[in-house]
Amino acid sequence: MARNTYEVLGDRAPVPCNRDDADAVAMAAMEPGTTLTALPFKHPPLLDDEVRMRITHSGQCHTDVFWTSCSWFDQVAFPCVPGHEMIGIVEKVGEKVSSFKEGDRVGFGTGRDCCDSCINCQIGRDNCCPQRVGTYDPYFGGYATSFQAKAKFFFHLPENIPGEAAPIFCAGITTYAPMKRNVLPGMKVAIVGIGGLGHLAIQFANKMGCEVTAISTSPSKEAEARSFGAHHFLNSKDPEQVKNATGSFDFLMNTSTGIDLTADAMLLKKRGIYNVVGVPERGHDFNFNLFPFLANHIEFKPSLVGSRAETIEMLDFCCLHNIFPKTEVYAFADAQAGFNSLAHGDPHYPRYRAVLETESFFKSFSPAS
């Protein structure tokens, strides 16, 4: 059963209002499904440890579709304002905030809060904190013209990272973090799936000094995969190519939602590492045979996003190597079109990420002062 956002958050809930009285406008799912509705709102009072930013760009991730349609969890709070890949400008800071000032260019990702006291937080693994809070549900996320949260989860943004690169705060850190933990220069790395996650994973693996093979069911993607930095291409529908690649890779990252654990494991060397970052809908039927994992001592290491420290490191790495997502940009008022492209392939799936920009919207709407 869906929850009510306003009841869950109480006096910390954004307040819906007339557009003339609003601080911002969100694109919200008012009930389970994939329909977005413009929702003017006022923020709750800014706390002394919080930052409020004017969003300039917000990524649209397939996770958002899974969430609003309750494809992963039933207990989603509505109205739900998705979005966890944000770039913007600081508008206000709380009285105790010293790390940011008005006018700073910042980014925000998948995490909103953590305890800062458990063992995971103490060793820099705040993404594993048992009390970690995600960016949205029941809170309002990034499909909005303004966003506020605790300062400790904002990131200073280097000037050479464009606004359209907002997806690095989810797709980027999701693929960067497990590679940084597990791969070394010279390793043979395979990336399964050349999409929103995979095209970034290829770039990271290449610049980390690895020999990169892109694996896809679509031979037409070979040229683009090589342009991202893949040295080799494997058509997973070609039995001969798959046979020749058996036992070839030190590290395999599966970025797709069509996961075949057994087939992928056969491609790894003994003591290879199998990393999964793509998440299918509930009810997905996994093809899983434990034997090749046991016989070849394969390490199965799925992962989800990364820590704050890893995100800062990734931003520096992206700047150094000019690694940015390839995006399709939608006007904020056309958020539904971008959402449809993710949910239904209408008119097509984004190549490779979808991003909302708010500049055009601000020309027709000025938030209340």
CATH number at residue 350: 3.90.180.10
Is residue 251 domain-shared with residue 321, that is, in the same domain? no
**Cα–Cα distance between 246 and 223 in angstroms, integer?**
23
Q: What is the pLDDT of residue 177?
A: 98
11, 157: one domain? yes
- Whether 250 and 324 share a structural domain: no
Same domain, 78 and 116: yes
Torsion angle defined by CA atoms of residues 93, 97, 100 and 102, in that order, rounded to the nearest 10 degrees: 30
Claim to verify: residue 292 and residue 332 sit in the same structural domain: no
Domain with 208, as residue range(s), is 171-300
The H or E element that residue 119 is part of is helix 119-122
Mean of the per-residue pLDDT values of the chain: 95
Q: Rounded to the nearest 5°, which phi and psi values hold at 17? A: -160, 180
**Residue 180 is part of a domain; what is its CATH number?**
3.40.50.720
Q: Is residue 126 assigned to a domain?
A: yes
pLDDT of residue 365: 56
User: How many separate domains does the chain show?
Assistant: 2
165 in the same domain as 48: yes
Q: What is the pLDDT of residue 369?
A: 40
Percent helix, strand, coil in the chain (nearest 5)? 30, 25, 40
142 and 102 within one domain? yes
In a domain, 175, yes or no: yes
Residue 302 burial (CB count, 10 A) = 13
**Rounded (10°) angle between helices 171-182 and 198-207:** 40
**Which pLDDT band holds residue 351 (cuts at 50, 70, 90)?**
confident
86 and 57 Cβ atoms separated by less than 8 Å: yes
- The answer to whether 203 touches 253, Cβ cutoff 8 Å, is no
Instruction: Show the tokens assigned to 342.
Output: 């993710």
48 in any annotated domain: yes
Report yes or no: 82 and 67 within 8 Å, Cβ to Cβ.
yes
Pairing, β 77-78 against β 3-4: parallel
* Domain limit, last residue, from 300, 318, 337: 300
- Specify whether 192 is located in the same domain as 158: no
Structure confidence at residue 368 as a pLDDT band (50, 70, 90)? very low
Q: Identify which of 233, 172, 181 has the alpha carbon closest to the alpha carbon of residue 203.
A: 172
pLDDT at 364 over 80: no
Same domain, 165 and 250: no
Residues 272 and 350 in one domain: no
Q: Could you say which of 255, 280, 300 is where a domain stops? A: 300
Q: Between 288 and 283, name the one with better pLDDT.
A: 288
pLDDT band of residue 261 (cuts 50, 70, 90) is confident
In 3D space, the residue among 240, 223, 230, 164 whose CA is nearest the CA of residue 200 turns out to be: 230
Tell me, yes or no, whether 241 and 314 share the same domain: no
Instruction: Check whether residue 24 and residue 94 sit in a common domain.
Output: yes
Q: Is residue 157 part of a domain?
A: yes
Which positions ≥6 away from 85 have C-beta within 8 Å? 58, 59, 61, 109, 142, 166, 167, 168, 169, 170, 171, 355
* Strand locations in 21-137 (E): 24-28, 37-42, 50-60, 77-78, 86-93, 105-108, 111-113, 133-134
